[in-house]
Amino acid sequence: MAKMTISGLQTLAKTYVAAAKQAGTWTSSSDNLYKAIDKIGKMVMIDGQFIDKLPELDGEDLPLGKTIEEYFIDLTLPEAYGTIINAAGGDKAPALPTVENCSYSYSLGREKIKTTVPYNNVERAARSVEDASNMITKILERLGNSYEMFKFAAKKQLLGNAADKAVTAKLVTTIALPTDKTTSEAFIKQIKQDVETASFPNEGGLNGSLIGAAPELILYVKKGVMPVVEVDALAGAFNEGRLAIPAKIKVVDDFGSMTATNVYALLVDPRGIKLHRDYHAIRQSENADGDFINYVDHSEHTGFISKNVFIKAYKSE
pTM: 0.86
Alpha carbons 44 and 41: distance in angstroms, whole number? 10
| 78 band by pLDDT with thresholds 50, 70 and 90 | confident
- 10 Å CB burial of residue 264 (0-12, 13-18, 19+) is buried
| 317 band by pLDDT with thresholds 50, 70 and 90 | confident
pLDDT at 203: 94
pLDDT at 89: 57
Distances (CA, A) of 188 to 124, 182, 243, 291: 58, 10, 7, 60
Model confidence pLDDT, tens digit, residues 110-138 = 999 999 999 998 888 888 888 889 899 99
**Which residues, in sequence order, are CB contacts of 157 under 8 Å at separation 6+?**
255, 256, 257, 303
Alpha carbons 285 and 292: distance in angstroms, whole number? 9
Nearest to 107 by CA among 308, 273, 298, 275: 275
Give mean pLDDT, residues 290-317. Answer: 95
Model confidence pLDDT, tens digit, residues 145-175 = 999 999 999 999 999 999 999 999 999 999 9
Q: b/e per residue, 94-108, with b = 16+ CB within 10 A?
A: eeeeeebeebebebb
Give yes or no for a contact between 209 and 72, defined as CB atoms under 8 angstroms apart: yes
Q: Residue 87 above 60 pLDDT?
A: no
Give the percent of the chain with pLDDT over 70: 94
Please list the residues that pair with 131 across neighbouring strands. Answer: none
Let me know how long the chain is: 317
pLDDT at 238: 53
Nearest to 23 by CA among 2, 48, 44: 44
Give mean pLDDT, residues 218-232. Answer: 91
Give mean pLDDT, residues 202-218. Answer: 93
pLDDT at 54: 93
Give mean pLDDT, residues 241-247. Answer: 73
pLDDT at 59: 95
Nearest to 192 by CA among 155, 239, 243, 147: 243
Give yes or no for a contact between 165 and 305, defined as CB atoms under 8 angstroms apart: yes
Alpha carbons 97 and 210: distance in angstroms, whole number? 13
pLDDT at 140: 93
On average, the pLDDT of the chain sits at 89
pLDDT at 173: 95
| 207 band by pLDDT with thresholds 50, 70 and 90 | very high
Q: Which amino acid is at 180?
A: D
